Chain A
Amino acid sequence: MLPIFDKIFIDVVSKNSEVADRVRSLYPKEIIFDVETEPFSDLKGTMTSDEFNQSKRTLFLTEYKGHFFKRCPGATQKKTLTCCNYHVLNLGSQCNMNCSYCYLQSYLNSRTTKIFTNIDQALAELKEMADLHPTQPFRVGTGEVIDSLSLDEITLYSRKLINFFKNYPNWVLEFKTKSNKIDQFIDLPGAKNIVVSWSINPPHIINSEEHGTARFDERIAAAKKCRDQGYKIAFHIDPMIWHPEWKENYSFLAEEIAKNFSASDIHIISLGALRFQPEQRQMMRERFGMQSMVNAAEMFTSEGNKMRYDAGLRSEMFQFMQTKIRSLNSGFNIFLCMETPETWINSFDKVPMQMPELKQIFKPLPEVR
């Protein structure tokens, strides 16, 4: 089923793009409008919950005016966080799914879901950097402010990116998703440097907090399909959400991963615990109610000002998960996402640069211009 939009606006600069053509072929013409300026750009200030909800159902095709290729926001908080040198390529913004904890609720300020149609410019930027540093192990993800694949059947960008990255085997491309939308590229043979990753939680959490996403078994099935086609797989068990049965439910998740995938199938497994900016609490409360496990959670201000679980509880959760995963398969590479050095030490007894299997990932890379 195609992603649902109430209205689709096509910027005049994007009207001849491949994506615009595809949108016109997929959606009824009654909901498609040509525009010369960004819709609702006159509306300033923080979005209300209703506006945020509506922005998920209003698509705007336009060109991105800045640099596509950037460092992950974790890198900007190096004083407080241990950063894994991730780079991002933002080919759109907003998400058509609806997780209660989503950080976009405090990050975005546009009343539309955007798809940037100038993919060729993004690829040109990538090429420039990749030609400069072809042997450096850059990891590039497209799922920072938009799910990498949930709108991909509209854009088909995955196909262009896969073909591009095959020319740069030391660079790693990561599609990060909570969908099971892989059919649009699965005919292309995979490669070791192309990772399809799933942000994943136990079924209980998916059902209650990750609205509109693919079910647990659908994500696992899609991952198996990608593995069978030669793609590397990654799992981001993030955000781990505490609930009374968390040990049983996260054990089940680890067992399912270990049952279905070998260490050689999996690029990395990352762990992260629930965290969010204090500014988004109100929108979360209004949109998902206080019965949501995320809103009812016991959260405290942490260094860097994000709301997090108690540091001791976080370490307990990470230690538990690490031990569980390693007991099932000691070959999996596990790391923490957006965590402080203290939590690394409390959970793993080490920081990543002291861990041979992670050193390569955390090694500083040349600056992106």
Chain B
Amino acid sequence: MLENVLLKALNTYNHDPDHNRNQVISWFETKKMKPSDLTFLNILKTESEKIRISECFLKCYLLNASFSDTLQILELATELVMINSESAVASDTTDLNVWKNELKKLRYPQTTLSDQDLKNKLESLPWPYGAKIKFERRGDRAGVELKLFITSTADLTKSISALERVKEQI
């Protein structure tokens, strides 16, 4: 199924079936991608659902996406199409990270919103002067990574005081 999905998409894009077949085989070999990696495609039922995902597949192929990017994009797109057939899984961007983030926003809309609220809240806190903070989601937890550069005990004392203020406001 896997090769066929891509081959079908590629044939609509470039009308040279033999050449396309070789290209597809070579692409799967290079990426070390096996049918078992893409079992989630089995949930696609209608022809239109399959066509929409094969378009995503084709785009991954044309952008030479890595194994892991291809998998992430296709899994997100497949789930989105099956949750809501109207989901806008295709994208105009040629930046894979941008595309992945667009898909994640669609797949995790509530978490995207709550992360944005948390990010705004955390970034507005009175962190120590010169501290670098970076909002991150790590699995089921979201928070900030905090970097401090300390050169003296006085620096340290100031930072601790600032962090106490953060603690009061958090």
Q: Using CB atoms and an 8 Å cutoff, list the residues of chain A in contact with chain B.
A: 281-282, 285-286, 289-291, 295-296, 298, 300-303, 308-314
Contact = CB atoms under 8 A, between A and B. Distances in A.
Given A301-B140, A302-B139, A310-B140, 8 more contacts: A285-B40, A286-B43, A289-B82, A296-B79, A298-B107, A298-B109, A300-B111, A300-B140
Nearest to B118: A312
B142 A310 contact: yes
Contact of A289 (B43, B109, B110, B142): B43
Nearest to B111: A298
Given A290-B79, A302-B139, A309-B140, A282 B107 contact: no
B43 A312 contact: no
Contacts of A311: 140-142
Contact of A282 (B39, B137, B139, B141): B39
B140 A286 contact: no
B160 to A, nearest CB: 22
A65 to B, nearest CB: 32
B43 A285 contact: yes
22 contacts: A282-B40, A285-B43, A285-B82, A289-B82, A290-B43, A291-B82, A296-B83, A298-B108, A298-B110, A298-B111, A301-B139, A301-B140, A302-B139, A302-B140, A308-B140, A309-B140, A310-B140, A310-B142, A311-B140, A311-B142, A312-B114, A312-B118
Interface string B98-109: 000000000111
Interface in B32-48: 39-40, 42-43
Given A285-B43, A291-B83, A303 B139 contact: yes
A52 B79 CA distance: 22
A286 B42 contact: yes
A186 B40 CA distance: 46
Most buried by B among A290, A301, A303: A290
A173 B47 CA distance: 53
A186 B82 CA distance: 45
A58 B110 CA distance: 41
**Which 9 residue pairs of A and B lie closest in terms of their CB atoms, listed nearest first?**
A290-B82, A300-B140, A302-B140, A301-B139, A298-B108, A290-B83, A311-B141, A308-B140, A285-B43
Nearest to B79: A290
A309 B140 CA distance: 6
A64 B39 CA distance: 34
Contacts of B83: 290-291, 296
Nearest to A287: B43
B169 to A, nearest CB: 17
Nearest to B40: A282
Nearest to A285: B43
A313 B109 CA distance: 13
Scoring B108, B114, B139 by chain A CB atoms within 10 A of each residue's CB, the highest score goes to B139
B142 A312 contact: yes
Contact of A310 (B42, B109, B111): B111
A282 B75 CA distance: 11
B104 to A, nearest CB: 10
Nearest to B80: A290
Contacts of B42: 282, 286
Contacts of A295: 79
B55 to A, nearest CB: 19
A313 B40 contact: no
A288 to B, nearest CB: 10
Contacts of B109: 298
Interface string B135-164: 001011110000000000000000000000
Contacts of B107: 298
Interface string B34-73: 0000011011000000000000000000000000000000
Contacts of A300: 111, 137, 139-140
A308 B141 CA distance: 10
A197 to B, nearest CB: 27
A193 B94 CA distance: 64
Nearest to A291: B83
Nearest to A305: B139
Contacts of A286: 42-43
A302 B141 CA distance: 8
B165 to A, nearest CB: 22
